[in-house]
């Protein structure tokens, strides 16, 4: 992946950010956990802000990563982070997340890390390799989450199939108004 992208995982100057997601044999949309923007830390976020020329986007990615990692990997509820976002929006007199500035999002990232430390009792992991190992374990663990179990039962997908974990270079849907992400199938998922 590093050769193809020309970026290096954990590098402070040209960082490779990844997504970690399920690669189940049968498509189970929305059932399995995913972690996006993995590889970010305080140093890397500054590097991608400088490289992209878009500090707001960089800090938005970082605060999203902290929230997602905390929820999916460490099982800290999303609600704690949503409360911090809502408070920030109220304090700034704005209605939507997109109205928050780069400085607001940087402050939110700091608040998110403090919330993580309060709930977990240790600092948010800055080492991309540590982040990656935690995310891989969490995606494997999500095979057993209640919504995945119900989906498999309702769709006759055997538990024994298990899942793979895919680590992919990030594709960003939040870089601007002209960006997006999606899923495409080359075959009808129901009929093959």
Alpha-carbon 19 to chain mean position: 7
Note whether residue 174 is domain-resident.
Answer: no
Count of CB atoms situated within 10 Å of the CB of 85: 18
Average pLDDT over residues 10-18: 93
Give residue 186's pLDDT: 79
How many percent of the chain have pLDDT more than 90?
A: 83
In this structure, is residue 164 part of a structural domain?
A: yes
- What pLDDT score was predicted for residue 55? 97
In a domain, 62, yes or no: yes
In a domain, 186, yes or no: no
Picking from 2, 3, 7, the residue whose alpha carbon sits closest to that of residue 52 is 7
In a domain, 189, yes or no: no
Indicate which CATH number applies to the domain containing 148. Answer: 1.20.80.30
CA 120 to CA 160: how far, in whole Å? 33
* Token output for 64: 């999203």
Output DSSP code: residue 122: S
For residue 175, pLDDT beyond 80: no
pLDDT, position 27: 84
The residue-averaged pLDDT of 5-30 equals 92
CA torsion 103-60-108-84 (nearest 10°) is 130
Over residues 97-137, the pLDDT tens digits come to 999 999 999 999 999 999 999 999 999 999 999 999 999 99
Give residue 187's pLDDT.
Answer: 80
Domain assignment present for residue 190? The answer is no
pLDDT in tens, 32-88: 999 999 999 999 999 999 999 999 999 999 999 999 999 999 999 999 999 999 999
Residue 181 lies in a domain: no
Q: Residue 176 pLDDT more than 60?
A: no
CA 91, 45, 175, 77 torsion: positive or negative?
A: negative
Q: Is residue 71 part of a domain?
A: yes
Q: How many domains does the chain have?
A: 1
Domain extent, residue 31, equals 2-169
CB proximity list for 78: less than 8 A, separation 6 or greater: 67, 71
């Amino acid at each position: 992946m590093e050769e193809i992208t020309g970026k290096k995982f954990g590098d402070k100057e040209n960082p490779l950010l990844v997504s970690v997601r399920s690669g189940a044999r049968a498509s189970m949309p929305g059932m399995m956990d995913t972690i996006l923007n993995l590889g970010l830390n305080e140093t890397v976020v500054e590097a991608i802000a400088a490289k992209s020329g878009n500090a707001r986007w960089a800090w938005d990615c970082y605060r999203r990563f902290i929230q997602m990692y905390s929820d999916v990997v460490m099982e800290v509820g999303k609600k704690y982070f949503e409360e911090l976002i809502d408070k920030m929006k109220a304090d700034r007199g704005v209605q939507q997340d997109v109205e928050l500035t780069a400085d607001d999002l940087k402050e939110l990232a700091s608040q998110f890390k403090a919330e993580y430390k309060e709930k977990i009792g240790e600092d948010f992991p800055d080492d991309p390799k540590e982040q990656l190992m935690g995310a891989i374990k969490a995606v494997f663990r999500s095979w057993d989450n209640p919504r995945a179990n119900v989906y498999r039962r309702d769709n006759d997908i055997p538990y024994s199939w298990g899942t793979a974990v895919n680590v992919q270079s990030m594709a960003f849907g939040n870089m601007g108004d002209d960006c997006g992400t999606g899923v495409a199938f080359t075959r009808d998922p129901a009929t093959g």
